[in-house]
Amino acid sequence: MSIEVRNISKRFGHFTALDDVSLRIETGELTAILGPSGSGKTSLLRVIAGLEPPDEGSISFFGEDVTHRHVRERGIGFVFQHYALFRHMTVFENVAFGLRVRPRALRPSNIAIKDRVDRLLSLVQMTGYAERYPAQLSGGQRQRIALARALALEPRVLLLDEPFGALDANVRAELRNWLRRMHDEFDVTSVLVTHDQEEALEVADRVVVLNKGRIEQSGPPAEVYHFPANAFVCSLLGRVNILPAPRIPLDGGAVGAPRPLYVRPHEMDLWRDATLAGSGAVAGTVLHVNAAGPVVRIDLRGEDGTRLMVELSHERHRGTSVARGDRVFVAPKDHRMFDSGAGI
């Protein structure tokens, strides 16, 4: 059982937001849809939700075609970036709202509503806030209430559109861990849209990378990060250096076109002595050294003006003792190569 997105296309005038997108999201899975602005992330989420009809293709929930069903008939919970809480309602009434407006035949009793809301407030760590209003809460607390409201209806599918985008970095980090725990406890199939690669890699079971309305790669976070399908995915998922490479020998002794090396900062090493660095090293000048944190981050300018980034352990950095203005030599310990223009 799963969510099936089959050959979905969506256009707005002459702009193609989604171009023949197919995707399978397994039951109970938390899938992150990742990509830059304009890649089609939110359009895909809105088509899955039923807020936008596709121009082509179909959507199935757990084996049932829901392509033409209204959003109210799809059994989804939706959490937005800007909370969308009712300012004139208390926390309790915000969470209870979806239950109170159900048709009479499906509406729980007042006692059942209170029991469910109290349980959800406990799960989102907001017990004691039931009589407060949204204006009396912090951004992180409001987002917890928005999630509790979405879960109150016991949705089959939970859709989250940049839910932590309006929060500061520390609160986002805290809520990412909390969201993962909530997802596991409710065992709901979840789709998270984000432009934050750290968020996607940390919380998701699977990451789907979108670019210009098409899927570039889909897979477990470790696979997408360590084995990117192309240069676009590699560059999107964290910082990366692009180094020139020698021409590659081909069969028959011919020489292929040079392909650049894509090297993450932690895959670079650094020396003061060119003879220790080896023949493939690149010379540069240290611009900045940041030793705060678990690794030492060093920014350099190569001789051709290229900006380079190196991450060293504190022990390795003490062995080099480089400082701003020093001339150094860097070389990759590992690298990736891609076909020219792949994914770009």
Q: Which residues of the chain have pLDDT under 50?
A: 250, 342-344
- Tokens representing 254 are 């011919």
| Lateral strand order in the sheet of 2-12 | 15-26, 2-12, 56-61, 64-65
Going along the chain from its start, the domains and CATH numbers come out as 2-236 (3.40.50.300), 244-332 (2.40.50.140)
Query: How far is 298 from 292, CA to CA, in rounded Å?
Result: 11
Query: How far is 73 from 110, CA to CA, in rounded Å?
Result: 24
pLDDT at 19: 97
pLDDT single digits (tens) 119-160 = 999 888 889 999 999 999 998 888 889 888 988 888 889 999
Cα 150 to Cα 58, 113, 133, 160, 265: the distances in Å are 25, 14, 18, 10, 40
How large a percentage of the chain has pLDDT more than 70? 94
pLDDT at 247: 52
pTM: 0.84
pLDDT single digits (tens) 74-88 = 989 888 777 688 999
- Tokens representing 291 are 């030793």
pLDDT at 104: 87
pLDDT at 344: 46
pLDDT at 117: 94
pLDDT at 255: 54
Per-residue HEC secondary structure of 156-187 comes to CEEEEECCCCCCCHHHHHHHHHHHHHHHHHHC
Query: How far is 301 from 84, CA to CA, in rounded Å?
Result: 46
